[in-house]
Amino acid sequence: MPKSTPKTAPAQLPFVIVGCGFAGTSVLLHTLLRVADDPSITAPVDIRIVERREEQKHAGLAYGKAPDYKEHNLNIGAKRVNPFPAGAQPEGFPTFVDYIQDLSKKNPEMKICLTNPPRQLYGDYLQHLVGLAVDKAGTKVRVSYVMAQATRVNEHKNHTTITLDGNETIKCAHVVLATGFQDALAPKFAAAAANSPRFIETPYSKSANDFFAHVCQHKNSDVLVIGTGLTSMDIAARLINSGHEGKITMMSRRALMHKPYEETPVEEYIATRLRGEPRPESELPFTKTPPAFMQAKNVPAFVKAVVKEFKQLTRQGFTSEEVITYWERFVPQIAEKLPKDQLAKLFTQHDVLLTTSRVGVTPDIGRTVRQAMQSGRIKVVSASIQSIREVNGKMETIYSPSPSPENLMVRMASVLNLKSAPAQRVGVHDFVFSGMGNSISYDPEKSVVRDPLWRDLLENGKAKPHWTKAGVTVTNGFSLVDTDGRAAKGISVIGVPVAGHMTVTAYKYPERPGAGGRIGPTALNVAGITGATLAFLDQNYDRLMQGFRRPAPEAANDKPQRRNLAAYKTPKPQPS
């Protein structure tokens, strides 16, 4: 009888991560840690990182080297940005608090970074963690970097290919798209201003440093900041701290702003938390029972119940952040029982309301902006902008005033009863900053997708926009879903492009007990992306490592040492 052909392990094609911001770094970091502790790995795991900008390696736009150091802070204290699950810190890997305290031994002034942590310092911390993880994995891994722009990704029968600018291709076993906030997407109303030297789309880019410096040279110039959220508060604080003395107008539809946490001595912060941060659920009696709005049968009834319960709880002294932090875990259940089109409308119209009520800002940012508002240096305007353009060396803004900002839940109650827009007005300013952040909606009515990779995926039906209008559709295992509802086998997505999915899908919270959705910024913060990374690896790690493991015992005809491979089987992903 002819001898049977031995079974062989899958080809050792590389595992590729496109994007080296926090999401890509999180996938790399936790993959390295699992490989380091995996005794079945026998061939070096080939991990390749595709990143187009050197200054964004392991930091991305949020924590990268592009903005001047210390000019932009995180919006929370150092204890709330741990990239590991609570209680599961790997041995030898410091928390961000540990990292800062170690630096403060040589420079005591660094202690202030515990309560007002600079964004770029967190990028330095991530670089440090990756170095430790690479050392721990040792010869089990080969990590390499490809500095290029990914333009296309295609699935084939047994592999996936990534095309880079210049038409170079990478053949791989699997690719994770962790592209984050790619190019800032200016709102359509600012299209005519996009190329003006008096307009900047994002305050975190390299070009923004020169723009800030130029504006501050004209220290009495009149500045308009589009938006009133965290990015806009960053812009205003940087201008003030850099010597700008002119008028600053912050304009958004509802003029809603993040509430600042209070100044807190470092010793008190280490012992407890920033003053104003939410208390643990064990101290919040309303978390013992499900909220009443869970009984609602339709969206109007849901909104009415939310408004009523929110008023009751805030009147009892609970903060909006404490209430919404608990409530967000129920969003996946609400999404299952109520019409998705109406919920999408609710999310779209009130995302800023939820965001500004869900999380505050560090004392430093809050103090700087609030003091400037009180002195009259900063004017906050509630208005909808129709267009911005340069006219005779000035920036002309056409806008329609909006009603004065009200309580969050009063605003939500009007979701199905919108009023017509008031008359237009014209504003004239010397410079304009867009503080609206980046679009992740992929909604042609709101923005243009400039990134060639995502433009190709969307235009060719390889990616399906998520029903919340925030990002794209993926399975519960984070596999990309096409417009026909088919899940990709070799393409996964983590981070910003799956914000909508994270909002309405229940995953474990790595930073606190329980599981549920994530509202507003929590879908994209450190804890949110860490949770997504862990969920992705729980379902995909063993499949990704097949090509780097020792052959199954049958292949070596070694039946006495047969191992149970059930642990390496990956559950079949289900569409979200």
For the chain, give every residue range classified as CATH 3.50.50.60: 18-43+122-182+451-492+521-558, 188-260+361-406+420-434
Q: What percent of the chain has pLDDT over 70?
A: 87
Say how far apart CA 70 and CA 425 lie, in whole Å: 37
CA distances from 239 to 205, 220, 223, 432 (A): 15, 11, 10, 12
CATH 3.50.50.60 is held by the domain 188-260+361-406+420-434: yes
- The torsion angle over the Cα atoms of residues 491, 204, 534 and 455, rounded to 10 degrees, is -20
What is the pLDDT confidence band of residue 304, given thresholds at 50, 70 and 90?
A: very high
- Confidence (pLDDT) at 136: 97
- Confidence (pLDDT) at 568: 30
Three-class SS state of 476: coil
Q: For 18-43+122-182+451-492+521-558, CATH number?
A: 3.50.50.60
- Confidence (pLDDT) at 438: 58
Above 70 in pLDDT, residue 36? yes
pLDDT in tens, 333-373: 999 999 999 999 888 888 888 888 888 998 989 999 999 99
Three-class SS state of 151: strand
- Confidence (pLDDT) at 396: 96
Q: Answer yes or no: are the C-beta atoms of 127 and 59 closer than 8 Å.
A: yes
Q: Which residue from 479, 494, 574, 474 is spatially nearest to 534, judged by alpha carbons? A: 494
What mean pLDDT value characterizes the chain? 86
- Confidence (pLDDT) at 150: 95
Say how far apart CA 223 and CA 214 lie, in whole Å: 12
Q: Give the containing element (helix H, strand E) for 352.
A: helix 340-358
pLDDT in tens, 194-211: 889 999 988 887 788 899
- Confidence (pLDDT) at 443: 67
Stretch among 207-211, 233-237, 429-433 having the lowest mean pLDDT: 207-211
Q: Which residue from 157, 217, 362 is spatially nearest to 277, judged by alpha carbons? A: 362
Stretch among 311-315, 469-473, 475-479 having the lowest mean pLDDT: 469-473
The residues with which 434 forms a beta bridge, in sequence order, are 226
- The pTM score is 0.87
Say how far apart CA 314 and CA 322 lie, in whole Å: 9
Residues in the chain: 576
Say how far apart CA 279 and CA 272 lie, in whole Å: 10
Task: Tell which wins on pLDDT, 65 or 231.
Answer: 231
Residue entry with tokens 């993040």: 258
pLDDT in tens, 87-99: 999 999 999 999 9
What is the pLDDT confidence band of residue 60, given thresholds at 50, 70 and 90?
A: confident
Say how far apart CA 496 and CA 181 lie, in whole Å: 6
Average pLDDT over residues 469-475: 92
Q: Which residue from 433, 388, 423, 383 is spatially nearest to 404, judged by alpha carbons? A: 383
Above 70 in pLDDT, residue 160? yes
Task: Tell which wins on pLDDT, 1 or 324.
Answer: 324
pLDDT in tens, 506-562: 999 999 989 999 988 888 899 999 999 999 999 999 999 988 987 644 433 333 333
- Confidence (pLDDT) at 430: 97
